[in-house]
Structures are given as C-alpha cells and as structure tokens.
Structure 1
Amino acid sequence: MKKIYVLDTNVLLQDPRAIYQFKENDVVIPAVVLEEIDSKKRYMDEIGRNARETARILDSLRAVGKLHEGVPLDSGGSVRVELNHKSYQYLKDMFIEVTNDNRILAVAHNLHTQQLEEKTGKSVIIVSKDGLVRVKADALGLHAEDFLNDRVTEFDNMYRGKRHIAVSKDLIDTFYAENALPLEQLEEKGMYPHEFVVLRDSAGGSSSALCKVNTAATQLVPFTNEHEHAWGIKPRNVEQKMALELLLRNDIPLVTLTGKAGTGKTLLTLACGLMLTEDYGNYNKLLVARPVVPMGKDIGYLPGEKDEKLRPWMQPIFDNLEYLFNAKKPGELDQILAGMGSIEVEALTYIRGRSIPDQFIIIDEAQNLTKHEVKTILTRVGEGSKIVLMGDPKQIDHPYLDELNNGLAYVVEVFKDQSISGHVKLEKGERSGLAQLAADLL
C-alpha cells in the first residue's frame, strides 16, 4: 500500500535529493516549505547551497509535468507541491500561532482527513528532522518520522578501527613465532586495512598479542610502534599508541580520529604534525583548520583583521600549541609562529578553491561538517599531503547534523576498507580526572 510522505523544510535543506528516497510512495511538499527554501537560497553556506540545489531539482521536474498535480518519479512514486491549505481551523484550537511548522502540520492533517474520507487507505507521514514537529504531529494523531536515509550506519555499528578477538593460545603462539597470522585462520570476518587487533586467549589465560591488519587486509602483522613519542608527547594508553602509529605513517595519507573531549586527539595530532614537518621535513607546512560553526558563516562581525577575527574560533588550537612550545608569556607563541613560518592556522571558510600539496593538514571539529563540505575539503588535498580529520560525533553544533550523518562519520565509514586510510576511536580521557568524569557523567 502506497504512503504519502509530507516533507519538512529541514529535510530538503539537509539532503536536496531526499524526494528520490521514498521508493514507490508519494511525496508532498507544502507550499510553505518552498517559501522557507526561497528565504535560504541567498545564504553562502551549506544551507544556502542545498536550498539552491533543491530549487534546481524542482525546476527540472517542471519539464516532466505540473508539480501541483504531481510529477511521476523513476522509483514509481510521485512528488507534488501542495498549494491547498484548505483549513487551519482544526489546528487553531491547539496551536494558536500560525507558524510555518504549524502550516506544514495543517497540510498533513488535511491530507490525513481527506484519505479517511475517500477511504483510499493511504497513510500520511510527516518527515522532519525537528523533534518538536514530530511531537506536535503525534499530539494530532499523525504519524511522524525522522529522515534517516542520510545516516551512514546503524547506531551501534560505527567503525572503531580496533577490535578484541578471542582465539586459542596456539594461534597467539603462531603469531609470535611467525610474526604474521593469515586472516583466514580467524573466525572474525570483515576486517579492514590498518585495523588494530588485540588477540586474547579464549581459555582465559594471560596470553595476548597487539597487532594490526596489513595494507592488503590479508594477515595480521606485529604492531611495533617505532616511535615512543612525538614532539615530547608520549602516548598514555594503547589507543593513543594506535593513533600515533597512523599519524606517523607516510603511506597513510588519510587518518580519522574520533573520541570524547580530553582523549588527546588534537594534542597528539599537532605533535605528530610538528615532528613530521619541523624535525623530519616530510612536509613543507603544517596547516591547521577548523570550521567556523556553521562552516562558511561570515565572521565579519568580529573586530580587527582576519587573524584577529579568527583568534576566538581557533583558540583551542593555540592552547595546544602553547603547551607544545612551552610558551607561557603573553605574545610568545605568536613570535614563535611568526619566526617559524611553516605553521598556518586557518578557518575552513577559506579552503574552497585551494590546492594543498606537500602539507600536513589537520581538520579539527570535523563532526560539524556535512558530507558535501568534507568532500570539498578532501578534494583540496594535493600530491604529497597528509590529512587528519578528527572530532567528537557526540558534540555537534550544526542544526541539521547528528552522530550518524555528519561528514566525519561519513568519511570513517566510506574509507574504512581503503588501503590509504586509517581510523581509531579514542575512548580513555587523559586531560584530567575531572574532564574524564565530566565526559562520562554529563
């Protein structure tokens, strides 16, 4: 039985191609949604881009038929712009103010009533990423759903970059004897290049082995971790050792790190970047960037030149650099950075159109990036560069992103089976006992 899906504005602003994701069902776009999209199309950020893309898609459908009558889609369904706000009277008794959200609810309620009168049996469903809209719909007796098609995985299935496997003691002994263990000897399936593995004795013995999947994803090899520290920073737990291994490998140009606040993502990555750039000379420059949330938002409201405007947004980066350079006096860090000339701290607002070769690139707070934005960034990476994306998917400030549809999660899932990338999730906080307790309890 076909269903009727009524789309909220935020669905199209998140994914302009959302109308193609409902298979053989009918999609209804209320006229007020077009008004809201029209008001966003002048924005120069991701929301504005999606608004313009939505307008182009709907305009192209006009060549197929009249949108107010319904245009068939290749999936077997149809898309229709609903112009008939027949009555708002029913909702006035519950929601006095005539807001855009309430007008969308009115369209859905009128369609629901119409389907009951005509006895067609089609259920009407509101699709919205706004929780309050879904709550209101439920109060009206309407079915409401979140738009989940943009999520890259199920909630508990995010790739962690590491796993624990219980095996027999004989397999652990074989691994130590031969410095390798073919994956075909393990019952575990679906292992990826550069994934870290902890082998434990299934019989409960003390035997264990820390290893990693080789680049070809054919066998486990020893995890030697040649470097004990980077720029004076020593890893404090096994996950930080895993991250250090990925960050210092020249044959892994893409590294993703996730973890709660205080797990050491930024500090460890900056230390590795400084070591590879300043000590080893593997890269010409260390470029550190983070999104001005949301990415592309004008920062002209802050006083001063560009560097002064950026300082409040980039202060977390400077805090870590002050620690690494042991800069304690006011202005000392600025003098150090000016003298070195090989460290650039930038906002992602200015990365579009650039080509960045032979640089160690760090993108902090990448969980606030959309899929399109992260694609824009990765396609800027030039020959000989290494890029590190890091962030905490649980701390998202973007209005249309969540833990499973943000750009960082997207890259982790899409690149997990690629030999040029590596990922690890840091879980143990090392900032302080208070920070770890706050991350766990709050």
Structure 2
Amino acid sequence: MPMHTTSGTELALLPAEESCPYEYWVPWLKNLALEVISKTHISRRIGNKYSAEDFWEVLILHTMMNLSIDEASNELNRMKWEQLNRHRRRKRFSKKICSKTRKFERLCPHGDQVRKYRQMLPMWIAKKVNQVIFLAQINYALREGLIDKNISILVDNNDQWYYGSDRYPANSFINKSNKGPGTSRRRKYLGIMIRSKKTSLFCGVSIIKKGHSNVPDIMGCIDQLIIEGFQIDYVLGDRWFPTYEFFAELHVRGIHYVGPYKKWSPIKKLLEDFLKNGGNYIRKYTIKGAPKKYYHSPGIPVWLILTNRQGRRLRDIRRDFKQKKMNLQDAMKEIMVMVTTFPPPVGIKQKQGWAVGICRKYDRRWQIETGFRDLNRISPPSNAHTNVRKFLMRSTQYWAYNTWQLERAKRKIKGQIPKSWKQGPTLRQFSHAQIRMYRASLVF
C-alpha cells in the first residue's frame, strides 16, 4: 500500500504525525474492487474512453471527499487537468465538443456516466465487493496488531428513511414504520461489527427484505470469520434479535449471546409474579420455536436477568409498587430483562458478580449505535432509486468508516505520541488528509 511518510513537497505532516503517518487508502480500496471485477469476468472497459478504474475512483473519492457524485467527478476532473498542465510550457485546455449543449473534453467520467455504471452492477457483485473489502480490512488490523483472534460481535438494524413514491409490495425492500421524520417508509440495513481490544470495525452489511429473516446474513458473516480462524466470545444484539432460529444457529457453533429481551406476554407474567411475590432475579427460561416450523425441535435453555439500568435497586422498585407509589405498568417499565446463554455459577455471591458482568457487556452496544451515526456524516445521502445502487453507496460509507477507525486505532497503541493525538484524527481531518495525499499522488 503506498504511504507518504516525509514532510515537504509530498505531504506536510505535523510533528506528531511523523511517527504515525497516514496510509493512502484510496488506491487500496479501488484495487480491491477492481480485483473482484476481474475475477467475476465483468468487462473493465466501459465505452471507448473510460475503464472501470475511472468509475471506482470517482465512487470512492465521492465518499472520502464528503461530496456528491457530480461534485466529486468535477473536482477530480479539475485536479487531473491541473496535473496534466503542471509541467507543460504550453498549457492544454479542454476542447469544446460539438453538441447542442455546452460540453467540454473531460479526463474522468461525469456524474451521469458514473451513475449509469453503478446501475449496471448486480447485487451479487456489490455483496462480493463488500465481503472482499471487509475481510481485507480485518486482516490488515490483525497484521498491525490492532485486533487479535478473540473477538465479540455486535449486530443491530439501521433505518434509512425513504421519501419517494415507491411502495410495498412493488418494492419488497421498503418497510413501514411509525417513527420516521415526516415519512412512514424506510429501508432497513443490518450492520455487523466486530470488537477486539479497543478497535471496532464493521464486518458486514445487508439490506433486509420485508418479512424476511436477517439470521442467514448474520450467520454467513459469522461462518466467514470462523473460517478465517477467529474465536467469537459472544454476540451482542438488541431486543428483537433473540429468536429461536438465531439461538439454534449460535448453539450449534458454540457461541453465546447477550442482550435485552422483548417484554412479550410470558415475560410480562414473569415480571408481574416477581413484583407481587418476589423471588430470584435470575430465572431459567426456555425459548421454543414456532410450532408450525419447529414442532419437534427441543427448546433452548437461557437465563433471564432482571435489572434496572438507571441505578435503582429491584427491591426499591418492588417497595414502591407494594406501597402503591407506582402502578403495575410503570413498575414493569422500570425493570429491564437481559437474556444470555452463558450458564451462571453455583454460589450466590458468584451469581451476583456474574449478573453484573453480563449487564456490563451490554454497555458495549453504544459502539455500533455511534458507528451508525458516524456513517451518516461520511458522505451526502445518495439519490439512488434502486435497491442495488442504494446498497452499494451505503456500503462505501462502511468502507470509509473502517479506514478511519484503523487510522485512529494505530495512534492509540503507538508510543511516544502526544496525548492530544492519541485519540487519532477526526472524521474531517481524515478526509482532508486523504484528499491531500490524492493530490500529491497526481503530482508525483
């Protein structure tokens, strides 16, 4: 991977940056995408002038520069003309093309051409590029010592709100929700993140159809990590992930699960019994599948932990309920139900420490939520209409996020770096550094 390490004409670095310089990620991502294109026997030559390399260059720079596709292509065209004329005594200017509209010669494709190229890529190509790039980024982190083979996995859904006229069932990827800002339509993306040491990286993204399960996508990503030799400690998810299908797949692979549990009817009865009669706050429970599909399948034993994440004790909640300071519904809202497949120890004191440790694992969930918010800051929202194009443009944001996190992780483990630089660059600083390095690569 090319790397600019010296100060001066190549790339001016701050003193703290000299000991831990930036990697040049633009050609790295572009070459991985082109490798997939070559292996799948898709033509790399598009038209008479441009190749697939030119289009992927615009797509990646569009994400890195935080510009729209039109703005990124125009900026890239301007930089290439500057580079062409840098050492020419007699400058060359773009020629006017004979056309009804005002057109000039270009050195890179314009926005409409990039969008047409993006439209011709099928979904399986986008998924294959995702798999190759995510795996390459994880292996890079492993080589640099930023992660190790023991990892935990975070899974969550991310809603992207939709304001167009496309509706279900004509488009099965557009779901309905009542939480949207000015809309009731959304596309639901599944994000999968790995956590090791102090580094968090996305390792998978999928767009989910209405009425379809996300378990096959999660297990496909987990199986790929297992093939690469990673040891998965546990999976952390939100309250809509604990299902019989998901737990059955994890149980076969010997992977544990930690997360909150939805308060459906049997859980409400359990909470009501606890508030009225007391009892143990750690309960053994069995998750069973739907009778139509899993009639002969055995139940999966799990443990439920009743807790309060706002710092209140369960006995204080029961006391307020007994003294009628709060009704049953309010008291049940105060109690959070955690579910795990980790078996508890035998002793009472050991069980208490075990329950606290399980609840603390859930505190890591904020990392994937913060990652989703950072994704929305990486580049402007795409105006793509089809699901494949929307998925591809969303995927480029995940690639850029991972490269930014890798740069930050390298500085956290680096010695003899000022404390102010230990946290690494902000997202804007990282984008500006990649743009400067791209301009420097055009000059030299």
TM-score (norm 1): 0.25
Structure with the greater relative contact order (CA < 8 A, sep ≥ 6): 1 or 2? 2
Quick check: which one's helix share is greater? 2
